[in-house]
Structure 1
Amino acid sequence: MNFKVITIDLAKNVFQACGVNEHIKPQFNKKLKRNEVLDFMRQQAPTTVVMEACYSSHYWGRELNKLGHDVKLIPAQHVTPFVRGNKNDHNDAFAIAEASQRAHIRFVPVKSEHQQEISCSHRIRERLVKNKVSLSNQIRGLLSEFGVIFSSGHKALVTGLECFVGDAEYSVRLRNMMTDMLNEYKGILKCVKGIEQQLHEFVDTSENGQILRSIPGIGVINASAFLAAIDKGQAFNNPREFAVWLGLTPRQHASGNMNKMGGITKRGDRYLRKLLVHAGRSVVSRAVKNDDPLSKWATKLRTTKPFNQVAMAHRLARLIWILLSRQEHYRVMPAAQEA
């Protein structure tokens, strides 16, 4: 039997599959164990399979694509309004089918294994950086109790610790503890550098990576993170949609003749938005030294809005989508030509 849509409510061990016809009437809604999912879908004629973009969804999307199905991933927040009755797997699976038929739903592209590997590298690096900062603060706090103060900065901490562990003025117990902490700190730094080297290799061998590197403020970390998340930006129809997805557009509250614009919505991926804001901050800090149109725009904006990193991040987001969709490198034009 052919179904218009088959939806799967993902889980760790017990899945819920629901098939609907062209009138969105459920034809079956059954539980499947993890080892039964692929066998069951192999028996179905190629059709559209919809799942929530959540835990393990990209893996299942790749596996079902191999079976000839057209897999679509739908953001979980768009499914919630369509859940009728109590919250259970049976109702969730049917809600996914109803939500997938809405006209303005934007589906999430299925990521390749390579994209997910790069995303994993970023998550591991982010955790290591947090551990490094935490360890650095603990070292400084502990040694301050003994009257030892280091200057701010990574190099000052490492140099100061190396001098401290060799100073016979302090007890052997304290110096041994600091030696262990110094080795731990250096181990974290080594792991971070190893991950960054892998990201460099990924960006250097990618044409899209070179396109993103040509944009002011976009470095290896930003370029690799955005390529792993959006590829060429094919999930978005225009640059504004991409900026909205990142949560860099104002929050609107309107009714009748009343229209209020607030701060940014902060929707989407917090990590990507943070990277883009840092990129905007770097562009703004160097804008005074340059005379290209982007720098002049940032300098002009700075006179009216002192904290304009978010505005620059919004503009960089639009540049990212435009250049990836056109497959063009960023070209710096003199201000006279723009005029």
Structure 2
Amino acid sequence: MNQVSTLSIDLAKNVFQLLAVDKHGKPCFSRRVNRQKLKETIQNMPPCKVVMEACGCAHYWGRMCIKAGHKAHLVPAQHVTPFVRGNKNDKNDCLAIYEASQRPYIRFVPVKSESQQAVLLLHRMRERLVKARTACLNQTRSFLLEFGIETPKSYRAFYSHIQTLLDQQLQPVILLLIHETCAELRAFERQLRQLDSLFRDTNQRSQAAEIMQSLPGVGPIIASAFSASIDKGQAFNSAKEFGVWLGLTPKQYASADKSVLSHITKRGDRYLRKQLIHGARTVVTHAHKKDDDLNRWISSLKERIGINKTIVATAHRLARLMWILLQKNEPYQPQYTQSGATQCIKG
């Protein structure tokens, strides 16, 4: 036990594979244990480096390892797969996790606290509610079309329109459908308002969330999701790395003298990227109403490359600004050039 330098764990629900390696890279032991035995092993083993794949319950075991005095490192799953040799089994997976953790340029996943995971759980709940609300709306719209009743596409207009249908002479089944749909939508709205209120409360206790909310297009939901996921951005060395992690940079294909940039890579967390692009869409829509440097840049970019590419470029710039402000620990302040300031004074 005292010779163990690195402990590699292949996580599962009930049975876990362990691989202990000394400082020279030689295996000390390899065994399968259950959940209770794994807890005892972590608590009784002298402090060492514990590596695991970033998967389900990895943050829980990471917190337990840190509490026991170990250094916990979570390896992204996509970096472990290339090191799997031979057949797919727990022993080979455990060895692949160890080998991936030894690479010099691997960026480990920071172990999240219980409060961070609780906030992210609320975001997953909200995402499920939004999807269920959209499914209910689309199904009702398709049912009504079967009877020649056309409804608007937007949610607010749809809800107002089906309420007016209750006063018309329709078949009892259709009226029942509309009543049930209205009741479901009201329930969804009540749950979403409750979650949004929780997000605002948690943001008041987070300095990082308050800094993010000072950015244009970043509201309570976006600030809550990013503060719970990246905290203050300490896992990234630069704003460029943060943008790459979000998948907002162009995908490159280069060979010899040929280099081609295509669409964005869409790496990283899909939910964070989607929320930031939604926020950027709002900024781009209202950019013509303001005269600071950011909005004038957005307006000129929109004229050159169109609105969709401008929205993605704005999301990338907001992400970089977000990381910079978190490192400086100060809120966003709109910047004005001399010409922009002069125009504001004249206005």
Structure-2-length-normalised TM-score: 0.93
Q: Which runs of 5+ in 2 are unaligned?
A: 342-347
Question: Secondary structure of the residue that 1:271 maps to in structure 2?
Answer: helix
Question: Secondary structure of the residue that 2:286 maps to in structure 1?
Answer: helix
Q: Distance in 1 between matches of 2:175 and 2:256?
A: 69
Q: Distance in 2 between matches of 1:181 and 1:125?
A: 19
Across the aligned residues of Structure 1 and Structure 2, the Cα RMSD in angstroms comes to 1.7
- Partner residue, 2:344: none
Check 1:338–1:94 CA distance in 2 against 1; reply closer, same or farther (3 A cut): farther
Is it true that 1:92 corresponds to 2:98 in the alignment? no
- Partner residue, 1:68: 69
- Counterpart mapping for 1:197-276 below 5 A: 197-276=197-276
List per-residue Cα deviations over 1:178-231 (Å, max 9, x = no partner). 212221121111111111111111112321111000011111111111111111
Please say if residues 38 and 64 of structure 1, whose CA atoms lie closer than 8 Å, have aligned partners that are also in contact: no
- Counterpart mapping for 1:122-271 below 5 A: 122-167=123-168, 169-271=169-271
List per-residue Cα deviations over 1:291-332 (Å, max 9, x = no partner). 111111111211221131111111111111111121110011
Q: Which runs of 5+ in 1 are unaligned?
A: none
Q: Distance in 2 between matches of 1:333 and 1:181?
A: 47
Question: Secondary structure of the residue that 1:308 maps to in structure 2?
Answer: helix
Question: Secondary structure of the residue that 1:170 maps to in structure 2?
Answer: coil
Q: Distance in 1 between matches of 2:159 and 2:262?
A: 44
* Misfit runs of 4+, over 6 Å: none
Shift of 1:144: 2.9
AA matched with 1:322: I
Task: Count residues with an aligned counterpart.
Answer: 338
Shift of 1:337: 8.1
Please say if residues 8 and 50 of structure 2, whose CA atoms lie closer than 8 Å, have aligned partners that are also in contact: yes
Question: Secondary structure of the residue that 1:61 maps to in structure 2?
Answer: helix
- Partner residue, 1:277: 277
AA matched with 2:30: N
AA matched with 1:148: I
- Partner residue, 1:325: 327
Q: Distance in 1 between matches of 2:192 and 2:325?
A: 29
Shift of 1:152: 4.2
Check 1:155–1:78 CA distance in 2 against 1; reply closer, same or farther (3 A cut): closer
Equivalent pairs: percent with the same residue? 46
Check 1:54–1:153 CA distance in 2 against 1; reply closer, same or farther (3 A cut): same
Shift of 1:63: 1.4
Shift of 1:159: 3.1
Moved more, 8-17 or 188-197: 188-197
